[in-house]
Chain A
Amino acid sequence: MNHTILMSILILSPFIGFLINGFRYKKHNYMVAGSIATAAVFISFISAVLLVADVLGMPAENRRILVSFFEWVGVGNLKVDAAFVVDQISAIMILIITGVGSLIHLFSISYMHHDKGVAKYFAYLNLFIFNMLLLVLGSNLLVMFVGWEGVGLCSYLLIGFWFTDKEKAAAGMKAFITNRVGDAAFLLGMFILFLTFGTLNFAELNALAPTTAEASWLGAVTLGTLFLFIGATGKSAQIPLYVWLPDAMAGPTPVSALIHAATMVTAGVYMIVRLNPLFVMAPNTMAVIAIIGAATAVMAATIGMTQWDIKKVLAYSTVSQLGYMFLACGVGAFGAAMFHLMTHAFFKALMFLGSGSVIHAMHEEQDIRKMGGLKKYMPITHFTFVLGWLAIIGMPPFAGFFSKDEILWQSFSSPYGHPALWAAGALGATLTAFYMTRLMALTFWGQSRVPKNTHPHESDAMMTIPLIVLGILSVIGGWIGIPHVIGEVFGDIPNVWEHWLHPLIREIPIQSEGHHDASLEWTFMAISVGLAAVSAIVAFQMYVRKPGSSEKVADALGPVYKAIYHKYFVDEAYFGVIINPLVRFSRNLWFYVDVNFIDKCTYWVSDVVKGGGSLVRSMQTGNMQQYAMYIGIGLVFVLSILLMR
């Protein structure tokens, strides 16, 4: 089919869904609203599949479909088209967005069935899909930025969906404002890149990337990419702008699954992979990205070990896994980053939906201290959750193993890599296994601490089908990127992923010290799997076999535990150092400048006018002789002028 038509359907179908549900926003019929929304996204999915099929058929060197709808901006040197491109990277993204998106829409129909604003909810979800598609399909930074802002907006709308609850509304605002800070940096990055290269188009930017790495911290490419990365930390919840994501759990659970696991938070990673030739040529930025990614991965994992809310654990897990993706980008393993993006989308969305199922069954209870032994009440949920668990802790042959392992290996062996980075990644993997096993143990296994009057039950088909589909994907999703070392063993299975993405990834221009040994790679693989297994067993022991041992450990650690439990007091620090002074400053500005000064100026102007009017009015005395006097004075005046000539 014609590419323009397919692209239009792909992008506009969710938008039309948004419009339809938007106009119907007062209706309560969740089946109708949900069906419209799910159908809209599913139609997009079909178009995406068709487009990707076309792209598959193209020769490897020129795999892109470019559809330009119209010239959007044409001012001076700035020429920006409303153009969308499906190439290797965006093909992956649109399949994830529309595919996982359809499943989550389906799940939402059942999950939100009792909510009053269900049509509004689906409208927002569709709007989100639309904006996310704009983001990943845009062929230039400006169209991407439109989508970037749009998903931020939808995130705010959906997090604060139950806005009558002040805390939830505040969480929405926190997300939006933190995003906005990142967006400001994104804009600065765009400005710098435009000034340097004269274009915002991805293809042109990548072609114009310098051929030698930029050594200085103040070079244009380094600064531009650094600012873009800061924008990415806002959107993808890295240090220092990650604080919104745990609070974002205030929104409905499918929202967390879609936006905060699978799609929106990956936008930062996507952006870096898109512009990877520029990033590769700015080693300083790459170092920053890698260090922040590794640090975030470890820090979020430590916090995740202490949380009691099932969704908060998953949220910190997301932050941690995103840290891995950025770590991969930072060492130049962009393919691995995208790979982990995809597998993470599968298993994290699965686990979020699974937690939604659990919360639903527990009648909106989210505290895992009140759960336990749910295995026998919710078999399907439990089974799919187990698949997700095994994927995330990196057990072969599940999806997470391949992607996470690739990242760990690259963080050691890449020319931009470093053993310290690998060590951090391995530590993070160990902690991940620990807290995920803890979550499983406290929720599904062991003794049941469920309150007496709550009767958990399995969810209906509309919820379990997406769980099953995602579970299958968590199992097989990794087989698309089997690394060479394993592939060779099993009879030359190609690394499909690497070949697919190869033309788009810029080679790192540093001479590597020599081809790393295959055995080294095996060793690292074994180490990481071993560490994960040990950690999982320890967690199992602590929480299932010997309940109560975890409290002893927490008491033993004392202040350390307290700091971690309170999320290292980062939120408090932000409030004390930045936000409260800013609010005070604004309030002072309002009071002293606006009320006292500006308003007084306007009053002063009006007073002057009134005074002037009174003054002039005093001439109107009604005294005719005075008027005659004025005439006389005027006469004298005119005569004097005339006689002076």
Chain B
Amino acid sequence: MRAVKVEHMLSTDIITHVGLNHYLVLSALLFVTGMAGVLIRRNVIVLMMSIELMLNAVNISFVAFSKYLDKLDGQVLVFFVMTIAAAEAAVGLAIAVSIFKRYKEVNIRFFEHLKG
């Protein structure tokens, strides 16, 4: 990547010179979006998809670090995260299916049994 430095305008430097910071901020924004989804959406399945989004955001940040620190360990961790995310999605979906079979509902608002 060739960095084009424009001395007198710092702002364009941020746009043209894409560094670690950009990837990290992107990762943060994706993570936060996923978190918002967890807090707001009512459908259980969409909830779990938001969780997947959060995990992906973390993956981005791992890979970004791996690139900029010149170590491959970040990518190995991505490997792990991906596996676990997949496993967790599987289990979560199995539970969701069981709940749907029992209650015929996937609206999370109907499962407030912990109230009180």
Identify the A interface with B (CB < 8 A): 617, 620-625, 628-629, 632
| B111 with A624: CB separation less than 8 A | yes
| A625 with B108: CB separation less than 8 A | yes
| A623 with B39: CB separation less than 8 A | no
Q: Tell me if B9 is interfacial: C-beta within 8 Å of chain A.
A: no
Residues 68 to 116 of chain B near chain A (Cβ within 8 Å)? 108-109, 111-116
**Residues of B contacting A622 with CB < 8 Å?**
111-116
Interface centre among B39, B111, B116 (most CB of A within 10 A): B39
Q: How far is the CB of B55 from chain A (nearest CB, A)?
A: 16
**Residues of A contacting B115 with CB < 8 Å?**
620-623
Q: List 19 A-B contacts (CB under 8 A).
A: A620-B116, A621-B112, A621-B115, A622-B111, A622-B112, A622-B113, A622-B114, A622-B115, A622-B116, A623-B109, A623-B112, A623-B115, A624-B108, A625-B38, A625-B39, A625-B40, A625-B108, A629-B39, A632-B35
Q: In the bound complex, how far is the Cα of B41 from the Cα of A629, in angstroms? A: 12
Using A620-B115, A622-B112 as known contacts, list a sample of 13 further A-B pairs with CB atoms less than 8 Å apart, ordered by residue number in A.
A617-B116, A620-B114, A620-B116, A621-B112, A622-B113, A623-B109, A623-B112, A623-B115, A624-B108, A625-B40, A625-B108, A628-B38, A629-B39
**Residues of B contacting A632 with CB < 8 Å?**
35, 39
**Residues of B contacting A621 with CB < 8 Å?**
112, 115
Q: In the bound complex, how far is the Cα of B111 from the Cα of A622, in angstroms? A: 7
Nearest chain-A residue to B40 (Cβ)? A625
Q: In the bound complex, how far is the Cα of B38 from the Cα of A623, in angstroms? A: 12
Q: In the bound complex, how far is the Cα of B108 from the Cα of A155, in angstroms? A: 81
**Residues of B contacting A624 with CB < 8 Å?**
108, 111
Q: In the bound complex, how far is the Cα of B116 from the Cα of A545, in angstroms? A: 99
Q: How far is the CB of B110 from chain A (nearest CB, A)?
A: 10
Interface residues on B, range: 10 to 19
Q: In the bound complex, how far is the Cα of B111 from the Cα of A624, in angstroms? A: 8
**Residues of A contacting B109 with CB < 8 Å?**
623
**Residues of A contacting B112 with CB < 8 Å?**
621-623
Nearest chain-B residue to A617 (Cβ)? B116
Q: How far is the CB of B46 from chain A (nearest CB, A)?
A: 12
Residues 18 to 42 of chain B near chain A (Cβ within 8 Å)? 35, 38-40
**Residues of A contacting B39 with CB < 8 Å?**
625, 628-629, 632
**Residues of A contacting B40 with CB < 8 Å?**
625
Q: In the bound complex, how far is the Cα of B40 from the Cα of A621, in angstroms? A: 16
Nearest chain-A residue to B114 (Cβ)? A622
Q: In the bound complex, how far is the Cα of B38 from the Cα of A629, in angstroms? A: 9
**Residues of A contacting B35 with CB < 8 Å?**
632
Nearest chain-A residue to B38 (Cβ)? A628
Nearest chain-A residue to B32 (Cβ)? A632
Q: In the bound complex, how far is the Cα of B115 from the Cα of A624, in angstroms? A: 10
Q: In the bound complex, how far is the Cα of B56 from the Cα of A2, in angstroms? A: 103
Q: How far is the CB of A621 from chain B (nearest CB, A)?
A: 6
Q: In the bound complex, how far is the Cα of B114 from the Cα of A8, in angstroms? A: 75
**Residues of A contacting B116 with CB < 8 Å?**
617, 620, 622
Q: In the bound complex, how far is the Cα of B108 from the Cα of A625, in angstroms? A: 9
**Residues of B contacting A625 with CB < 8 Å?**
38-40, 108
**Residues of A contacting B113 with CB < 8 Å?**
622
**Residues of A contacting B108 with CB < 8 Å?**
624-625
Q: In the bound complex, how far is the Cα of B39 from the Cα of A629, in angstroms? A: 6
Nearest chain-B residue to A626 (Cβ)? B39
Nearest chain-A residue to B35 (Cβ)? A632
Q: In the bound complex, how far is the Cα of B116 from the Cα of A617, in angstroms? A: 6
Q: In the bound complex, how far is the Cα of B61 from the Cα of A330, in angstroms? A: 106
Q: In the bound complex, how far is the Cα of B36 from the Cα of A632, in angstroms? A: 10
Q: In the bound complex, how far is the Cα of B113 from the Cα of A624, in angstroms? A: 10
Nearest chain-B residue to A635 (Cβ)? B35
Q: In the bound complex, how far is the Cα of B116 from the Cα of A620, in angstroms? A: 5
The 4 lowest CB-CB distance pairs between A and B, nearest first, are: A622-B112, A622-B115, A622-B114, A625-B39
Q: In the bound complex, how far is the Cα of B108 from the Cα of A629, in angstroms? A: 15
Q: In the bound complex, how far is the Cα of B35 from the Cα of A632, in angstroms? A: 9
Q: In the bound complex, how far is the Cα of B39 from the Cα of A622, in angstroms? A: 14
Q: In the bound complex, how far is the Cα of B115 from the Cα of A622, in angstroms? A: 4
Nearest chain-A residue to B113 (Cβ)? A622
Q: In the bound complex, how far is the Cα of B115 from the Cα of A357, in angstroms? A: 85
Q: How far is the CB of A629 from chain B (nearest CB, A)?
A: 5
Q: How far is the CB of A610 from chain B (nearest CB, A)?
A: 15
Nearest chain-A residue to B112 (Cβ)? A622
Q: How far is the CB of B28 from chain A (nearest CB, A)?
A: 12
Q: In the bound complex, how far is the Cα of B110 from the Cα of A641, in angstroms? A: 36
Nearest chain-B residue to A625 (Cβ)? B39
Q: In the bound complex, how far is the Cα of B112 from the Cα of A620, in angstroms? A: 9
B5-16 to A contact mask, C-beta < 8 Å, 1/0:
000000000000
Q: In the bound complex, how far is the Cα of B36 from the Cα of A629, in angstroms? A: 9
Interface centre among A617, A621, A625 (most CB of B within 10 A): A625
Q: How far is the CB of B71 from chain A (nearest CB, A)?
A: 26
Q: In the bound complex, how far is the Cα of B116 from the Cα of A499, in angstroms? A: 92
Q: How far is the CB of A304 from chain B (nearest CB, A)?
A: 81
Q: How far is the CB of A252 from chain B (nearest CB, A)?
A: 69
Q: In the bound complex, how far is the Cα of B31 from the Cα of A632, in angstroms? A: 12
Q: How far is the CB of A642 from chain B (nearest CB, A)?
A: 16
